[in-house]
């Protein structure tokens, strides 16, 4: 497959009904140090990946104040501000960091407000287009956490609100406090534990943002059915995984991450990969 297609080929989705984004986005988490901690090894290289993503038509970039922490948001602000027209930056809050690969939820209202204010500063934005609660804090009622976010929305500092790693009943609970436009859960061809959430999002026209979108492990091994299908279409397993997500539902918004421009171009090229219904059915069967 050619590796310089445009993300527009992935189709569009109206996030919140008014933000028209190309469905294949970019997850910026990998543009940090090891363990999602500290600066990336190559800061200028990381900026080039972000800039190339926008050049390739990617206009939905996902980050979090916990990536670094703060490193990722600052990097995006430095690399992309002033933002090209139509570029949407989605960020998250609600996790604290204790070190590499360590994360703990904290959903106290005053902390979430502080995070939003800092995200605005680091990202060089006047308003966050999509702010997502990274995790529900079991020690704080979600009504309190999202109640503060609703106030920030009313103040014009947040446009839309999303959730991460939730089940349908939790989305219902959150929607009683603030309008929810998206859900970000782990999901890929080999890990479909959140099918109920995908169906919920499709029913209510919420964006479903799968993190860890590329199939891994045994399913993706050389010589397997996924590898064979990829070779048949002159593609990689990663491209096939992303193309399947785009095929799976029009509300799915994959955000593959990478720290390499070449790999970024390969991922975006998945927008052009088209299989028949029968071929997708065979791949889905082999993934079970």
Active site residues: 67
Residue whose tokens read 């609970």: 173
DSSP output for 190-244? TB-TTHHHHHHHHHHT-EEEEES-S--GGGGSTTSHHHHHHHHTT--HHHHHHHH
Nearest-CA neighbor of 67 among 97, 89, 41? 97
Size of the chain in residues: 288
Phi/psi at 11 (nearest 5 deg)? Answer: 90, 175
Q: Are strands 60-62 and 26-27 parallel, antiparallel or unpaired?
A: parallel
Tell how many helices (H) and how many strands (E) occur in the chain: 10, 11
Q: Which pair of tokens denotes residue 165?
A: 């790693």
């Amino acid at each position: 497959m050619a590796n310089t297609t445009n993300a527009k080929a992935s189709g569009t989705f109206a996030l919140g009904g008014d933000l028209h984004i190309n469905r294949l986005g970019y997850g910026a988490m990998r543009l940090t140090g090891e363990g999602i901690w500290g600066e990336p090894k190559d800061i200028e290289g990381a900026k080039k990946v972000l800039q190339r993503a926008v050049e390739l038509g990617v206009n939905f970039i996902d980050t979090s104040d916990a990536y670094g922490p703060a490193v990722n948001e600052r990097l995006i602000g430095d690399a992309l501000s002033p933002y090209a027209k139509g570029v949407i930056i989605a960020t998250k809050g609600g996790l604290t960091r204790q070190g590499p690969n360590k994360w703990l939820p904290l959903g106290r209202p005053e902390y979430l407000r502080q995070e939003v204010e800092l995200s605005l500063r680091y990202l060089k934005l006047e308003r966050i287009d999509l702010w997502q609660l990274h995790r529900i804090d079991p020690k704080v009622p979600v009504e309190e956490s999202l109640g503060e976010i609703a106030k920030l929305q009313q103040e014009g500092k947040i446009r839309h609100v999303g959730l991460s790693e939730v089940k349908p009943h939790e989305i219902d609970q959150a929607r009683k406090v603030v309008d929810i436009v998206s859900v970000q859960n782990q999901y890929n061809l080999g890990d479909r534990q959140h099918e109920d959430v995908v169906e919920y999002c499709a029913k209510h026209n919420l964006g479903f943002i799968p993190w860890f979108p590329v199939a891994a492990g045994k399913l993706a091994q050389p010589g397997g059915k996924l590898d064979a299908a990829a070779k048949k279409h002159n593609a990689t397993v990663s491209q096939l995984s992303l193309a399947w997500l785009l095929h799976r539902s029009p509300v799915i918004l994959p955000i593959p991450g990478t720290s390499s421009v070449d790999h970024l171009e390969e991922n975006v090229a998945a927008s052009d990969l088209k299989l028949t219904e029968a071929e997708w059915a065979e791949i889905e069967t082999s993934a079970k």
